[in-house]
Amino acid sequence: MNRVDRIRAMEARLDNANAVISKAEAAIADYNAALDDIRALAAYYAGEAWMKDFAADEAGKLPAELKRGVLSEDGIFDMLEENRSLQIMLSETLTKVLKKGSF
Largest distance between two CA atoms of the chain: 74
Spatial contact of 71 and 57, defined as CB atoms under 8 Å apart? yes
Structural domains counted in the chain: 1
Global pTM reads 0.82
**Secondary structure class of 67 (helix, strand, coil):** coil
Amino acid letter at 85?
A: S
Give the Cα separation of 66 and 103 in Å (integer): 50
11 found inside a domain: no
Taking Cα atoms as reference points, which of 102, 51, 97 lies closest to residue 76? Answer: 51
14 found inside a domain: no
5 found inside a domain: no
6 found inside a domain: no
15 found inside a domain: no
pLDDT tens per residue, the chain (103 residues)? 899 999 999 999 999 999 999 999 999 999 999 999 999 999 999 999 999 999 999 999 999 999 999 999 899 999 999 999 999 999 999 999 888 876 6
Name the residue range of residue 43's domain. 26-100
